[in-house]
């Protein structure tokens, strides 16, 4: 019995070890099956991430409002909608919005009051209509101490033909800019080395498994390591070491031998190529989003030269002797309703200076012109010094700090909205076109209060250039209306019915644009339009939420039926986003509007149009030269 018991107690642990070993082997077998499947199916790409960006839990969703469009054929289009964690309506997309880069783009959209957004692709896209989709990537009341690379970001997106506009959908206007500025690639040897390294890496795992070809395997391994070492320190042909042609020929010879050993239809080589292509697609997708991010950052942030200029002007203001107090002497001109009064909202010294200078230079009687430049506290002294130091013929320029006039309201710059529409030709081919419309901001609705003694003013955006005398605007008969503006009839109220609400009076009414507007202030005060606008801004939609981009809706409804259409030849728009404008039309226009995100004062501006803007700058100005301002 003892012997039997002893024997039993000895054999039991052996069985347990065998059972554990079997389970371990089974687990390894399962891993050996599923891990290759994950690689082949590309599931590993979902784990691809880049460090240095915000995590998903810090990501904020953009507020997106989907708009139903109605056209002449009566067709309407309702795009799908979903809600984020905060209850905001956002569009359904085919892309993975958990990307760290997407999160950073959206996060910046909440802090930068600029044209900073991501274009969303709607699942139920209708290629037969041009219905717009309104998106708002940042709150318009956010205030950032910077110049306006482009105004407060509001956008209107429509369904876009992928064959025509995939580039613009992904990267905004950067693709077009890149096409215009791409230089011929010169570093052919580096590119050739990268291609050979890609092929060698694909063949090496299969060659390494063949004992009969150890010599070839070792030779390929050495060539791969050598190419990796060289390419890690070299980006141009000029930096390559000597006798590089011999190394390239040696690599080509090794690859040729590998091809003779392993047939082209080898499963191992195919798997490796698929893995490499998978990783390459992930990297290309990341770099595409990174380039979009850097492009948006470039067009929105303050250029170092412009920041330098503002700081230098502010310093000079306090270093110089106090300027004479001309307020009392010019008070009569400031309030004289018989003069031509222009109002400009801007925090960009150069931009506002170009507007004033171009207007004065083409004016027949400059002494009758009074410019009221409203800015914020940060740029007030810089603008004060600039417009005091440099004269603009006989015109009067008055700089005002809007925060002193109304402490409860910061400076709001004119807002821009981007709209993409589909044009359908006879062959039923959809071609997408992108337009920008600009709109009054909340600051504009303070004009009747700030200039209570004036009866009529012309409101100018700071991204325009004047090429003709504007005095004819003062003779325009507004016919009892309030706002004389250039209309944008590619966008009608019927297309925005779900956004504007059921109270619209005429669905055929066109949207209008800021840039150059003649405003009857007496009629404005009589109708109390400021109070109507403020009430509309605070209204909620039928879901109980505040409207996204409330200023657009409020502005359109406030001036519904009160807009006098100016002749379309007054203004040519699109000089900051449209590369195909006719030069003849540009020369004949009275006003050039650089609406879009590639403003002429930034490096990303469209170079063939910038001369219309830069010719009003004094290139001999020492402050511009000291700050390297070379638009």
Would you state the pLDDT for residue 20?
A: 58
Task: State the pTM of this model.
Answer: 0.66
Residue of 134, 247, 142 lying closest to 200 (CA atoms): 247
Lowest mean pLDDT: which of 162-171, 409-418, 492-501, 614-623? 162-171
Q: Residues 138, 329: contact at Cβ < 8 Å?
A: no
Q: Is the pLDDT of residue 236 over 80?
A: yes
What tens digit of pLDDT does each residue of 300-355 get?
A: 888 889 999 999 999 999 998 877 777 777 889 999 999 999 999 999 999 999 99
Would you state the pLDDT for residue 165?
A: 47
Dihedral over Cα of 377, 63, 511, 592: its sign: positive
Bridge partners, 459 (sequence order):
343, 517
Confidence class of residue 60 from pLDDT cuts 50, 70 and 90?
very low
Bridge partners, 432 (sequence order):
422
Dihedral over Cα of 500, 505, 511, 513: its sign: negative
- SS3 at position 202: helix
Core vs surface per residue 409-427: b (16+ CB within 10 A) or e:
eebbbbbbbbbbbbeeeee
What tens digit of pLDDT does each residue of 188-206 get?
A: 888 888 888 888 888 888 8
């Amino acid at each position: 019995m003892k012997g039997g018991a002893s024997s039993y107690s000895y054999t039991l642990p052996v069985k347990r070890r065998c059972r554990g070993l079997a389970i371990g082997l089974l687990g390894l077998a399962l891993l050996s099956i599923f891990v290759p499947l994950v690689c082949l199916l590309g599931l590993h790409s979902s784990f691809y991430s880049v460090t240095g960006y915000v995590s998903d839990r810090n990501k904020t969703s953009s507020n997106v409002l989907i708009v139903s469009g109605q056209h002449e054929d009566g067709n309407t289009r309702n795009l799908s909608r979903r809600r984020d964690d905060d209850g905001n309506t956002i569009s359904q997309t085919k892309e993975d919005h958990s990307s760290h880069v997407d999160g950073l783009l959206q996060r910046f959209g909440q802090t930068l009051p600029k044209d900073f957004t991501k274009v969303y692709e709607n699942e139920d896209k209708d290629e037969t209509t041009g219905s717009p989709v309104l998106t708002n990537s940042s709150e318009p009341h956010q205030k950032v101490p910077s110049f306006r690379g482009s105004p407060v970001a509001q956008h209107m997106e429509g369904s876009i033909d992928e064959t025509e506009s995939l580039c613009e959908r992904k990267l905004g206007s950067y693709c077009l800019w890149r096409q215009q500025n791409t230089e011929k690639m010169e570093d052919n040897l580096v590119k050739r080395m990268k291609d050979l390294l890609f092929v060698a890496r694909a063949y090496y795992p299969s060659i390494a498994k063949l004992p009969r070809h150890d010599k070839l395997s070792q030779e390929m391994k050495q060539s791969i390591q050598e190419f990796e070492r060289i390419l890690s320190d070299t980006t141009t042909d000029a930096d390559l070491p000597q006798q590089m042609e011999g190394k390239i020929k040696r690599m080509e010879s090794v690859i040729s031998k590998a091809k003779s050993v392993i047939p082209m239809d080898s499963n191992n080589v195919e798997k490796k190529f698929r893995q490499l292509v998978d990783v390459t697609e992930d990297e290309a997708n990341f770099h595409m989003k990174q380039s979009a991010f850097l492009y948006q950052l470039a067009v929105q942030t303050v250029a170092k030269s412009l920041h330098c200029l503002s700081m230098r002007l502010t310093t000079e203001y306090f270093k110089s002797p106090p300027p004479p107090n001309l307020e009392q002497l010019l008070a009569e001109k400031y309030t004289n309703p018989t003069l031509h009064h222009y109002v400009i909202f801007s925090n960009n010294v150069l931009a506002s200076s170009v507007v004033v200078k171009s207007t004065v230079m083409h004016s027949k009687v400059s002494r009758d012109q009074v410019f009221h430049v409203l800015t914020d506290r940060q740029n007030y002294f810089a603008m004060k010094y600039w417009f005091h130091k440099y004269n603009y013929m006989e015109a009067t320029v008055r700089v005002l700090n809007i925060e002193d006039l109304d402490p409860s309201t910061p400076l709001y710059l004119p807002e821009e909205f981007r709209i993409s529409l589909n044009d359908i030709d006879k062959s039923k081919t959809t071609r997408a076109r992108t337009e920008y419309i600009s709109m009054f901001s909340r600051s504009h609705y303070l004009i009747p209060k700030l200039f209570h003694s004036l009866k009529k003013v012309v409101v100018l955006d700071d991204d325009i250039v004047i090429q003709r005398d504007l005095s004819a605007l003062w003779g325009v008969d507004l016919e009892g209306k309030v706002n004389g503006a250039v209309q944008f009839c590619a966008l009608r109220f019927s297309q925005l019915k779900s956004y504007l609400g059921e109270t619209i009076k005429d669905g055929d009414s066109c949207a209008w644009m800021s840039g150059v507007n003649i405003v009857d202030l007496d009629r404005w005060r009589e109708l109390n339009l400021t109070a109507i606008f403020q009430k509309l801004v605070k209204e909620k939609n039928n879901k109980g939420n505040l409207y996204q981009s409330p200023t657009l809706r409020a502005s359109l409804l406030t001036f519904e039926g009160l807009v006098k259409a100016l002749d379309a030849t007054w203004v040519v728009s699109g000089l900051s986003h449209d590369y195909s404008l006719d030069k003849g039309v540009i020369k004949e226009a009275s006003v050039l509007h650089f609406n879009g995100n590639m403003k002429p004062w930034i490096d990303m501006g469209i170079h063939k149009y910038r001369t219309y803007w830069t010719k009003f700058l004094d290139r001999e100005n020492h402050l511009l030269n000291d700050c390297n301002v070379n638009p």
